[in-house]
Amino acid sequence: MFNNQEIKSDDIISLTNTLRWELGIDFHDKIIESIYADASKIAKQSIQIEDAKNSTILDQKIDNIITSKWFGFPIMFLLLAIVFWITVAGANIPSSWLAAILLDTIHPFLKNIASQIGMPWWLDGVLIDGAYMAFAWVVSVMLPPMAIFFPLFTLLEDLGYLPRVAFNMDSLFRKAGAHGKQALTMSMGFGCNAAGVVATRVIDSPRERLIAIITNNFSLCNGRWPTQILIATIFIGGLVPSHWAGLVSAGAVVSIAVLGIVFSLLVSWGLSKSILRGQASTFSLELPPYRPPRILQTLYTSLIDRTILVLWRAIAFTIPAGIIIWLVANIYIGELSLAEYFIDWANPFAFYFGLNGVILLAYIIAIPANEIVIPTILMLTVINSGLTGIGEGAGVMFELDSVADTKRILTAGGWTLLTAINLMLFSLLHNPCSTTLYTIYKETKSIKWTAISALLPLTIGFIVCFFVTQLWLLFSS
C-alpha cells in the first residue's frame, strides 16, 4: 500500500512538473501582471489622487525609454560610465591631498622622530615603512573613490533607477540560471566587492545568492581601477598617437570591465549547471515611482554603513601586509632577500602565463588590498632589477608622478605589451581581497564556499592568461 502511494505521488509530481513547463517560463510573470493589472484597475475606480495621472504618465514615458530593448542597455552603460568617470576624476584631487599629507608629510615626520629617539632600524622599518605606509596607501587610494562612488550609487537607488537596471538585466541572468537582482549586487561590486557581497542579501534564494556571491569578484572594484588605468595608459595608450592615447586607454579599461560582466554571466551559467544546479527563480519586481533622492539619508547610508565599514576592514587586513612587504624585502639569506629568492623561483612558472615573479609576489602580499599592488610591484621591480636612486629604500612602497618614469622602471623589469595585457586580465580575474573573503565567510558561514570564491576566479585567471600568452607567442613567431 505504501509503495503504491509513493509511486502515485511520484507520478503526480512528475506530471505536475511536466505540465508546469508546458505553460512556458513566463507563466509566473503573466499571473503577476494580471494581478497587478486588476489591482490597478480597482485602485483607479476607488481612489483619486491629485496629479497622480500626470505623474504616472511621466513615469511610464520614462520607463518606455530606459527599459526598452533598444535604449535600456545603452543608457545603463552610459550612466555606469559617467559614474565611473566622476569617481575616477573626482578622486584624483582628494587622493593627491591625502597622499601629500600621509605619505609626503607625516611619513618623513615619523621617520625623523624615530631617528631622534634612536629607534632600531628594523623596528623603524617594520612600523613606519611597513605598517604605516600600507595604512597610508590604502586610505589615500581607497577612501576618495569609495566616498564618491557609494553616494552616487545610493542616489541612483533612491531615485528609483536601480530597480530598472535589475529589470533590464533579468532576462540575461535568468538565462544564466541566476537571479535578476544579481545585476544590482554586481553593480555594487564595481565600488567594492565586499559591499557587493553584503548586497546579495536582497536575493531570497540561497542557491542564487551563492552564485551572486561567488561571481561578484568579476566586478572590477575601485581598488583595481588604478592598476588598470596606469597599465593601460603606459602600454595600450602608448601604441597610438598622443591625441588618441586617452581615448584608447579608457576604451581598454572599459573593455576589461565589460569582460568582467561577461565572465560573471558565464560563470553563473556554469555554476547553475554544476555544483549549484537548479532553475532560475522568478521574482516580482515592482518598479517604484521616481522620486527626489533623500540627500542626508543617502550620505549617511553610503558613507557610514558602506564606506567607513569597508575601509576599516581593509585597514585591519592591510597593516599586517605592510609589515610582510618590508620583511620579505629586508630579510636576507646570503646575498639575496626573501623577495628576490621568491621572484627568481617563480619567474619560470610565471612566464608560462605571460606574467613574472614580481607580479605573483605582489598579488600574494597584496591580498589584503588591491590598492597596494602597483606600489608593491614598483618597489619589488627596483629591488629585483638592481636599480638605484629610485624610491625610498627596500620594503618602502612608492609611486611616481611621471608615467614615463614608471614605464622605464617596468621596462627595466622586463615588461612587455604581453605582460601588461595579462596583468590587466589577472587583475580582473584573480582571487578576491581578504576583506571580501572575510565578508563572504561572514555571509555564508562556510569555509567551503569561501574557498571556492577564492580559488575559482584565480584558476580562471591563470587559464585565461595561459591561453592569451600561447596564442600571442603563436601568432608573433
Q: What is the pLDDT of residues 98-125, one digit of tens each?
A: 989 998 899 999 999 999 999 999 999 9
Q: What is the pLDDT of residues 31-87, one digit of tens each?
A: 766 776 777 778 777 776 665 555 667 777 888 888 888 888 888 888 877 887 787
Of the listed ranges 51-65, 249-263, 343-357, the least confidently predicted one is 51-65
| Count of beta carbons in the 10 Å neighbourhood of residue 426 | 22
Amino acid in position 388: T
Q: Mean pLDDT across the chain, nearest whole number?
A: 84
By the 8 A CB rule, do 422 and 414 touch?
no
Residue 1 has what pLDDT?
A: 46
By the 8 A CB rule, do 338 and 345 touch?
no
Size (the chain), residues? 477
402 vs 353, more confident: 353
Residue recorded with cell 545610493 = 154
Confidence of residue 2 (pLDDT cuts 50, 70, 90): very low
Burial (0-12, 13-18, 19+ Cβ within 10 Å), 292 = exposed
Phi, then psi, of 332 in degrees rounded to 5:
-110, 145
Measured CA to CA, the distance from residue 200 to residue 188 in angstroms comes to 10
By the 8 A CB rule, do 418 and 469 touch?
yes
Measured CA to CA, the distance from residue 325 to residue 476 in angstroms comes to 36
Residue 314 has what pLDDT?
A: 78
Amino acid in position 360: L
Measured CA to CA, the distance from residue 331 to residue 191 in angstroms comes to 36
Measured CA to CA, the distance from residue 477 to residue 471 in angstroms comes to 10
3-state secondary structure of 217: helix
Measured CA to CA, the distance from residue 182 to residue 186 in angstroms comes to 6
Q: What is the pLDDT of residues 135-152, one digit of tens each?
A: 898 888 878 888 888 888
263 vs 284, more confident: 263
By the 8 A CB rule, do 240 and 248 touch?
yes
Report which of 204, 211, 169, 205 is spatially closest to residue 187, judged by C-alpha positions: 169
* Strand ranges in 285-416 using DSSP code E only, listed in sequence order: 332-333, 336-337
Residue recorded with cell 560563470 = 267
Measured CA to CA, the distance from residue 134 to residue 113 in angstroms comes to 19
Measured CA to CA, the distance from residue 429 to residue 425 in angstroms comes to 6
